[in-house]
């Protein structure tokens, strides 16, 4: 009774996801700003760290270092101390080094060019896309674990060829569906949906705004993808 579903149109996917986000967006302290420095701090903290733990440290870190200039002027031991409780201290070192380069090379303003921002320490494709889309409104895609899960399930992205091939397909799909407007909200929406509804275990397909055209939901295999 559940035959193959047509691939959902990109605009339909965008509209449904953004409409859901307007009603169900998580209230997070970094969602109230478009300041590139603050967005970068939140994204670096969120790498390999749960949201609840980041919430407990984000405001305290910004009180101590409210700008690139303040962070750049700090000593490495002081920055490490401020990072206590978050782990993965290479992130703190990279963020500190980035602040110094932004001050020295860009006058304290984080570059809004994808090529330039990815040359800064610790900023990969995902972090660059998140900061550029949220802070600057650039139509740059993101692909974290949650977003990848949503795309793989909804669009039935093939796993043939191994993990590297899958990542290439998912990045290509992310680029295809990211809108030219409201890219920041869209990227946060797809991450929120993956974190709260399209979960790895026990996906909540019954309340998902994308369920009507989700390939995995149609085949009842969402929990296995």
> What are the structural domain ranges in the chain?
10-26+141-224, 29-136
Q: What does the pLDDT average to over 151-177?
A: 94
Q: What does the pLDDT average to over 23-27?
A: 96
If one compares 220 and 84, the residue with the highest pLDDT of the two is 84
pLDDT value, residue 220: 81
CA dihedral 139, 142, 148, 154 (to 10 degrees): -10
pLDDT value, residue 204: 95
Query: pLDDT (tens digit, 9 = 90+) per residue, 111-122?
Result: 999 999 999 999
Q: What fold, for 29-136?
A: Endonuclease III; domain 1 (1.10.340)
Q: Record the tokens describing residue 174, joined without a space.
A: 């992310």
Indicate which residues carry an active-site annotation: 43
pLDDT value, residue 225: 60
Helices (H) and strands (E) in the chain, counts: 12, 0
Given a cut of 60, whether residue 4 has pLDDT beyond it is no
pLDDT band at 195 (very low <50, low <70, confident <90, very high): very high
User: Which CATH number describes the domain made up of 10-26+141-224?
Assistant: 1.10.1670.10
- Rg over alpha carbons for the chain, rounded to the nearest Å, is 19
pLDDT band at 7 (very low <50, low <70, confident <90, very high): low
Indicate if 29-136 has the same CATH topology as 10-26+141-224: no
Name the average pLDDT for the chain: 93
Contact 21, 184 (CB under 8 A): no
If one compares 68 and 159, the residue with the highest pLDDT of the two is 68
Rounded-to-integer distance, Cα 87 and Cα 72, Å = 20
- The 8-class DSSP code of residue 218 comes to H
Q: Give the whole-number percent of the chain exceeding pLDDT 90.
A: 88
Given a cut of 90, whether residue 6 has pLDDT beyond it is no
Given a cut of 70, whether residue 2 has pLDDT beyond it is no
Q: What does the pLDDT average to over 186-197?
A: 97
Q: Give the whole-number percent of the chain exceeding pLDDT 70.
A: 95
pLDDT value, residue 186: 98
């Amino acid at each position: 009774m559940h035959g193959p579903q047509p691939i959902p149109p990109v605009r339909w996917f965008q509209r449904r996801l953004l409409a859901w986000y307007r009603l169900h967006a998580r209230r997070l302290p970094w969602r109230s700003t478009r300041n590139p420095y603050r967005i970068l701090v939140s994204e670096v903290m969120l790498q390999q760290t749960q949201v609840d733990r980041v919430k407990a440290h984000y405001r305290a870190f910004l009180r101590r270092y409210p700008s690139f200039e303040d962070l750049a002027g700090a000593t490495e031991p002081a920055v490490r101390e401020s990072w206590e409780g978050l782990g993965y201290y290479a992130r703190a070192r990279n963020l500190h080094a980035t602040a110094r380069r932004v001050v020295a090379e860009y006058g304290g303003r984080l570059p809004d060019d994808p090529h330039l921002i990815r040359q800064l320490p610790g900023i990969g494709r995902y972090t660059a896309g998140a900061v550029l889309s949220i802070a600057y409104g650039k139509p740059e895609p993101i692909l974290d674990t949650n977003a990848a899960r949503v795309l793989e399930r909804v669009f039935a992205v093939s796993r043939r060829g191994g993990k590297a091939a899958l990542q290439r397909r998912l990045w290509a799909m992310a680029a295809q569906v990211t809108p030219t407007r409201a890219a920041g909200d869209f990227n946060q929406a797809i991450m929120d949906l993956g974190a709260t509804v399209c979960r790895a275990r026990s996906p909540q397909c019954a309340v998902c705004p994308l369920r009507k055209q989700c390939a995995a939901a149609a085949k009842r295999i969402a929990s296995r993808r």
